Structures are given as structure tokens and as C-alpha cells.
Amino acid sequence: MKTIDRLLKMVKSGGGTSVGSVMPHKCGSHCLGPLTFHSQAVGVMVHLSQGSRLAERRADTFRNGLVFSSRQVKVNERIHLRVLKDVSNWHGALRVGFTTVPPSDRSLPLPGMAIPDLTRSPGHWAAPVHELCCLTGSELEFWVSAHGSCYVSSKNSMRHKLLTGVDISRPLWAMIDIYGQTCSVFLLGSEQKSLLCTKRSCPSMDPLPPPHNTQSTLSPDVSRLSENSDDCISCFDMELPADTFCVVCMVREARITLPCGHRCLCKHCVSKVSQQFGVCPLCRHQISA
């Protein structure tokens, strides 16, 4: 009876459980509980499968790829992802972060992008991951520290601080935007290390779907950095103000000033935004030819 009451309280409080989510359980003292994508709070272009651990966004758009964790995540719990498909017809890639807003409390349809649609609202923190860390076959993990900083690391790079100021005094859910070049990600699980033990999410993974392009599973070729290097800025070396970067790819410098006066797009993204949307990403003012 106490167990039922405890579960009902978790449902009412949004504690990682909602209709369509995996019920919380632990296999033992070293188990963090199941971790999947929330089955209802997903972008309109996202399809979930493989027990809500595989999230795929349609490749004919760069946006509407938001997903959230099915339960609250802990401080220093490293969320492990694998990119299964990327495309080259967009600029920018995966965005990751955290939110204090329970997925079950969100209104549908979800906003089109984590940045800036959600990050301009209280309780949302997100940052872009560099395109070279998001190629097909790449694996990465991200987490929030005890000081409220969000980090990301991959097999091909050391950890990098993405942002600061996350409110760790409140419950947090992981927030992932399958954006731009990134079309498909698989949630491998999570891990939380301490001096005494290592805790992991459960259950064990099903066999991982093969990457969409096996040739891309090789380590990223650094020569790609030289493409359009005149305005490409590594997101791991951002010493410039945030408004210096293109709001679409978040990698290249925003050099294009729109008729409304906003200087918010790079020369590579402006044509696609103009053709697909025809308005400024910030104020929705019409972009003339």
C-alpha cells in the first residue's frame, strides 16, 4: 500500500513518471532507474522507437526535434548518447541542456527549437554541441556539475564546459534538441560516479541499431574545420558574446543584418532561413528577397 501511495505522489509531482513513461524502479543500491526519452513531450517531427530510446527527426527540416528525459536526472549523472544519423544539408547540430519544467507539464505542440525558444524562458538551459562531435557514430555524454555547470565530452575530445548557472536546487530533466545536421540519436543510458561506487541506469540496453552511414563512424576528420573557416568558430572556444553567433547553427559568426536590424544569421544559414521561413528568427519580421 505504501508503494502505491509513493508512486501516486511521484505522478502528481511530475517526478519522472507520467502516462506512457517507464515506471520508476531500481534493481539495487547502484541503480539509477530506467532512463528513456519522455514518450509524450516530443517535437512534432520526432519519432520514438526502441522502447523510447531511439529518437529520429525528419531530415527535411532542421527544427522541431525536442525530446526530454523520462525522469529527473541527478547532479553528475552523465547522460550517454550515440548519434545514428547526420546530414550535411544543414548547419549546426545537437543542442543539450537541462530544465526544471517537468515534461508532463508541457503544452503541445512543443516549440521548434531549444535555442532561443526555450532558453529565453526561466528554468531552461541549453547550448550547442560542435558539429564535429555529432557525426554519425559519435558517442558523447553530458551532465550538470555540483556547481551548476553543464559539461559535454566525447571519445574524440576532452570535457568542455558548455554553460553555467543551472539551478541544481530544483529537480532537473535532461533536454535534447535533435537539431540541424543531427537527425537520429540513441540514448545509451547514464552513469554517476563517486569515490565509493558507480551507479548506472537500467535496464541493460537492447542491441544498438546500426549507424545510418557506417563510413561516418570513423573519427571526425579535422580537415572539415577548414571548410568556410573564415567565419567558423568552435563552440568549445567561445570567448565572444553569445549574440556574436548565428542563432541557427550557433557555430559561425552572425554577419548578415536583416531588414529588421537584427544581425543574427551567418551567410550559410540566411538563404535556407529565407527560403523555408521567410522571416527573422528573432522578431518574425519578413525577410525580403
CATH code of the domain containing 270: 3.30.40.10
Of residues 236, 271, 260, 262, the one with CA closest to residue 250: 236
pLDDT of residue 155: 77
- Are 85 and 213 in contact, with CB atoms under 8 Å apart? yes
Backbone phi, psi, residue 257, to 5°? -95, 120
Nearest 5 degrees, angle CA 237-CA 243-CA 244? 55
Looking up residue 155, the CATH number of its domain turns out to be: 2.60.120.920
Q: Which residues are within 8 A (CB) of 30 and not within 5 positions of it... i.e. 6 or more apart? A: 197, 198, 199, 200
Q: Whole-angstrom Cα distance, residue 203 to residue 105?
A: 26
- Are 176 and 96 in contact, with CB atoms under 8 Å apart? yes
Backbone phi, psi, residue 99, to 5°? -145, 150
Task: Give residue for cell 542563432.
Answer: 247
Query: Which grid cell is 264?
Result: 543574427
pLDDT of residue 149: 97
Entry field: residues in the chain: 289
pLDDT of residue 224: 39
pLDDT of residue 246: 80
Task: Give residue for cell 547540430.
Answer: 93
Which pLDDT tens digits describe the chain residue by residue (289 residues)? Answer: 444 444 444 434 444 433 344 445 556 778 898 999 999 999 999 999 999 999 999 989 999 999 999 999 999 999 999 999 999 889 899 999 999 999 999 999 999 999 999 999 999 999 999 998 999 999 999 999 999 999 999 876 788 999 999 999 999 999 999 999 999 999 999 999 988 889 999 854 445 566 655 343 333 333 333 344 445 444 444 444 555 778 777 677 888 888 887 888 888 888 888 887 788 877 777 876 5
Q: Are residues 168 and 265 in the same domain?
A: no
Helix (H, G, I), strand (E, B) or coil at 9: helix
Of residues 45, 131, 134, 35, the one with CA closest to residue 83: 134
pLDDT of residue 195: 86
What range defines the domain where residue 276 resides? 241-288
129: in domain: yes
Backbone phi, psi, residue 172, to 5°? -125, 145
236: in domain: no
- Among 172, 202, 232, identify where a domain stops: 202
Q: Are residues 46 and 136 in the same domain?
A: yes
pLDDT of residue 188: 93
Q: Whole-angstrom Cα distance, residue 200 to residue 193?
A: 9
Query: Which grid cell is 190?
Result: 547514464
- Among 174, 202, 230, identify where a domain stops: 202
Of residues 100, 68, 81, the one with CA closest to residue 190: 81
Cβ-based burial of 159 (10 A; exposed 0-12, middle 13-18, buried ≥19): middle
Q: Are residues 37 and 91 in the same domain?
A: yes
Q: Are residues 185 and 258 in the same domain?
A: no
Q: Using the 8-state DSSP alphabet, how is residue 180 labeled?
A: T
Please report which helix (H) or strand (E) contains residue 275, including its range.
Answer: helix 270-276
Phi-psi region of 14 (alpha: psi -120 to 50; beta: other; left: phi over 0): left
Query: Which grid cell is 70?
Result: 523520462
pLDDT of residue 258: 84
pLDDT of residue 259: 84
Q: Whole-angstrom Cα distance, residue 33 to residue 189?
A: 10
198: in domain: yes
| Domain count within the chain | 2
